[in-house]
Structure 1
Amino acid sequence: MPKILLLGSGFVAGPCAEYLARNPSNTLTVACRTSASASAFCSSIPRATPLVLDVAAADTTELEAAVAAHDLVISLVPYIYHATVIQAAIKGKTHVVTTSYISPAIQALDTAARDAGIVVLNEAGLDPGIDHLYAVKIIDEVHAKGGKVKEFHLSCGAFPAPECASTNPLQYKFSWSPRGVLLAHLNSSSFLSSGSVVEIAGADLMARAQPTTISGFPHALEMFPNRDSVPFREFYRIPEAHTVVRGTLRYAGFPAFMAALIKLGWLATDVKDWLVDGLTWAEATQRACGASGSDESALVARIVQLCTFPSTAEEERILAAMRWVGLFSSEKLVVSRGTLLDTLCARLEALMQYQPGERDLILMEQKYGVEWADGKQETIVATLEEYGTPGGTSAMARTVGVPCGIACQLVLDGVFSTPGIHAPYTKEYCDPIRELLDGEGLLLVERVL
């Protein structure tokens, strides 16, 4: 019976475990930092056993023993720990699946993984993941017909369904790691535009968000570039492309609010000695941004000095959102990890939870600017619009967890058997995953404009 170790029981782990539990041969060990979390997760999963394990522990002895005792490990912990997990898997000769990008630290383990004879499959989620499955398919089909992909655009976002978005002024709620969400707004990015590489520093990313539309979706959206898009011209084998952009979607207005938080220093990740329990939120905002005082008028004056607002109405909107978060309040804050980012993260997580009866939304759209051999030009569009189930599985969990579960089963079944560090950039990986994913109802709808 294949033995699977699942590291993490967070937002997206459920559908992955449920998919693997469909196979009566599979047994699952779910490892969390606390017994309560592991036991609660396992209570609804057949043949699942809880395990207390801290992947972040300096001593990796327990991690290595747990990994070695299984045939495959699924790493759904924060991406910074993936390399540690893979190192343990190399020692234990255990296959690995993650839903994260291949980092330099992971890529550096390729030779060791090949020597150990293990498959390490990454980017097996939504974005990255489902996006690759359709990009490879559509690009291969265009090339097979003699066409060229001159432009590639990807937009993907996770947010509340429109009817649930108006319950807070940020129009956002957390369907995955709140810390990961906030940090994603600080990533530096680069993309290819009309043959030139455009680079954006992380501190400037939110200010570069642009209005965009998704076919058939009537609500105002904005898109900002997601990490480094440039290598995907090579990954997707489209050397003819002059534009390659992968972006993240948010409801209009959210990036401007995040840009203001960045200007104020609230997304700083370094430990602040002055940030201690007992400070008020207003005092912390004063220290973070260098205001002359902690009264609201002094804070607002400093914010207006630091931030550029296109209109008085936009200024008032963002200030109102800050009041809603409590950044001007006399309430005592509780410090998390000694950083402004983590302290704010805990606050937002409490304020921006999904309530009973609410549902989330995943939007993904790919656009291909195609030039055919006869000179004709077309735009191929592939769209995914997936809603969560109120009181049940979120769209985020389903679109990340199900592809991850499928990828794990394909590794266990030997469909993916080439040792080393991999991502689904070829038909060898994309076709088997996509065919099973289509059977789960998770598919992009394609059409030609």
Structure 2
Amino acid sequence: MPKILLFGAGLVAAPCVEYCLRRKENTMVIATRTIAKGESLAKEYGDRVSCATVDVESDESIDNLMKDCDIAISLVPYIHHANIIKSAVKFKKNFVSTSYVSPAMEAFHDAAVEAGVTVMNEIGVDPGVDHLYAMKVIDEVHAKGGKVKSFISYCGGLPAPENSDNPLGYKFSWSPRGVLLAVRNAARFKQDGKIVDIAGPDLLRLGAKRIYTNPGYATYGYPNRDSSFYDTRYGMPECDTCLRGSLRFEGNVEIVQAFADCGLLSLDEVDFLASSAPAVSCAEAMAKLLNCADAEEDTLKAAVAAKANLPKDLQRRVLNGFKWFGLFSKTEMADRKGTYLDMLCGTMEEKLQLKDDERDMIFLQHEFGIEWADGKKEERTSTLIEYGTPGGFTAMARLVGMPCGVAVQMILDGKITKKGVFAPLTKDIYGPLIEVLEKEEGVVVKDTIL
């Protein structure tokens, strides 16, 4: 009976576990820092699943579990993957993660090849499903003698439109801290043959624009970190424009930019927001941030409008957004964890939770600019829209955890045999994965020639 070792029991783990355990012969050990979290996930599977505690910073702790498994999955933060891969290679166990391949992970490639170990990564949704359908079209175009002159891809984990009922048009099923920190990242992409760099503070102001994805959605996108090298990674050296970005509903970008302009994304420690400091209202904290003489709502609104340099046509919507989040309130207390970012996260965690009767969605769209051998040009899109199930798996959890589970089973079945550290970028890997996703799981990616 194959034994699967899963590190982590977070939000995306449940769909992975569910898929892996459809095969009655499979068993699983769920390894977590606190055993209660694993037990909560394992309870519906009876004696086919056991739980263990693990310290992912301890080689000995990882080794004690690794030596008895057949394949390991890591759904813990990416900084711990290298330690787990080291153990997998040591004991000649295959490994799967949903994370980007980091330099620390890539460093084990030669050792994994020598040990005959599969170390497959980037098999969630983004990265993961996005790779599969990008490479499918790129390889098809190349096989027919064409060139991919531009590749633009946007992906967003969003609430379903009917549940996007707040100023940001956004909801969380996890901590918002990572999402807010992401808009501080610099971006690099390739446009018309030239490299474009956007500094973190300018990302939304200079990089965000309206993205016409579907007539039913009003969406904006902005570039996500460094996508300038994807022309090489995807094997399309002819590509002049290459950009991968994040997608949000209309209105999100302007308010988040105002948060940033006012200093609400700051990671600087502030004495009066320390956990040991006396309670302070959100309005009082905002008055201190904006150097206001008082904490009256009109005073704060004027200060925000000036600090964020809001044009008149945006003032009402953005300021109402600040008010909706309680940032002008004298009765709502600031979340005191040290920084203004933590204060903002506190109110977001409370107000932007996805409720049990609500659903989220994944929207992924690739846009290809194609030039055929006869000079004819073509624009093509590949679009995935997936909704979560109220009371069940979110779309985000399912499309991260389930493809990971599919990859695990295909490795166990001998359908994926490649050795070393890799992502699903070649036809022998992405082809069988797409077949299972479409035929077994009902994943629908619609190709449209414009």
CA drift of 1:382 comes to: 1.1
Partner of 1:375: 375
Partner of 1:80: 79
Change over 3 Å in CA distance of 1:354–1:53 after alignment to 2: same
- What SS class does the counterpart of residue 404 from structure 2 fall into? helix
- What SS class does the counterpart of residue 120 from structure 1 fall into? strand
In the alignment, the residues of structure 2 paired with residue 280 and residue 68 of structure 1 have an alpha-carbon distance, to the nearest angstrom, of: 53
- What SS class does the counterpart of residue 24 from structure 2 fall into? coil
- What SS class does the counterpart of residue 219 from structure 1 fall into? coil
CA drift of 1:210 comes to: 0.2
Partner of 2:112: 113
Change over 3 Å in CA distance of 1:335–1:371 after alignment to 2: same
In the alignment, the residues of structure 2 paired with residue 62 and residue 128 of structure 1 have an alpha-carbon distance, to the nearest angstrom, of: 29
In the alignment, the residues of structure 2 paired with residue 294 and residue 66 of structure 1 have an alpha-carbon distance, to the nearest angstrom, of: 56
- What SS class does the counterpart of residue 218 from structure 2 fall into? strand
Change over 3 Å in CA distance of 1:67–1:205 after alignment to 2: farther
Change over 3 Å in CA distance of 1:131–1:39 after alignment to 2: same
Number of aligned residue pairs: 443
In the alignment, the residues of structure 2 paired with residue 308 and residue 12 of structure 1 have an alpha-carbon distance, to the nearest angstrom, of: 39
* Range 281-290 or range 19-28, more displaced: 281-290
- What SS class does the counterpart of residue 10 from structure 1 fall into? coil
Amino acid at match of 2:40: A
- What SS class does the counterpart of residue 364 from structure 2 fall into? strand
Asked whether 1:407 is paired with 2:394, we answer no
Amino acid at match of 1:169: P
CA drift of 1:54 comes to: 4.6
CA drift of 1:401 comes to: 1.4
**Where does the alignment leave 5 or more consecutive residues of structure 1 unmatched?**
none
Using the size of structure 2 for normalisation, the TM-score is 0.91
Partner of 1:49: 50
Partner of 2:176: 178
Following TM superposition, where does structure 1 have runs of at least 4 consecutive aligned residues deviating by more than 6 angstroms? none
CA drift of 1:17 comes to: 0.8
Partner of 1:354: 354
Asked whether 1:396 is paired with 2:393, we answer no
Please report the RMSD computed on the Cα atoms of aligned residues, expressed in angstroms. 2.2
Do the aligned partners of 2:153 and 2:243 also contact (CA within 8 Å) in 1?
Answer: yes
In the alignment, the residues of structure 1 paired with residue 89 and residue 270 of structure 2 have an alpha-carbon distance, to the nearest angstrom, of: 38
Partner of 2:449: 448
- What SS class does the counterpart of residue 217 from structure 2 fall into? strand
- What SS class does the counterpart of residue 43 from structure 1 fall into? helix
Deviation digits for residues 92-135 of structure 1, max 9, x if unmatched?
43322111112233223333433444322111011111111111
- What SS class does the counterpart of residue 45 from structure 2 fall into? coil
Partner of 1:40: 40
Map 1:137-156; keep pairs closer than 5 Å: 137-156=136-155
Deviation digits for residues 146-200 of structure 1, max 9, x if unmatched?
111111111111111111112x222111145533322222222111111111111
* Range 348-357 or range 297-306, more displaced: 297-306
**Where does the alignment leave 5 or more consecutive residues of structure 2 unmatched?**
none
Change over 3 Å in CA distance of 1:303–1:63 after alignment to 2: farther
- What SS class does the counterpart of residue 344 from structure 2 fall into? helix
Do the aligned partners of 2:187 and 2:197 also contact (CA within 8 Å) in 1?
Answer: yes
Change over 3 Å in CA distance of 1:64–1:319 after alignment to 2: farther
Using the size of structure 1 for normalisation, the TM-score is 0.91
* Range 108-117 or range 363-372, more displaced: 108-117
Change over 3 Å in CA distance of 1:70–1:187 after alignment to 2: farther
Map 1:197-216; keep pairs closer than 5 Å: 197-207=195-205, 208-215=207-214
Change over 3 Å in CA distance of 1:108–1:281 after alignment to 2: farther
* Range 326-335 or range 292-301, more displaced: 292-301
In the alignment, the residues of structure 1 paired with residue 286 and residue 87 of structure 2 have an alpha-carbon distance, to the nearest angstrom, of: 42
- What SS class does the counterpart of residue 44 from structure 1 fall into? helix
- Identity within the alignment, %: 44
- What SS class does the counterpart of residue 151 from structure 1 fall into? strand
CA drift of 1:351 comes to: 1.3
Deviation digits for residues 183-234 of structure 1, max 9, x if unmatched?
222222111111111111222212221011113x412110101121111101
CA drift of 1:86 comes to: 2.5
Map 1:312-351; keep pairs closer than 5 Å: 312-330=312-330, 331-336=332-337, 338-351=338-351
Change over 3 Å in CA distance of 1:317–1:5 after alignment to 2: same
Do the aligned partners of 1:264 and 1:303 also contact (CA within 8 Å) in 2?
Answer: yes
Partner of 2:365: 365
Partner of 2:128: 129
CA drift of 1:295 comes to: 4.2
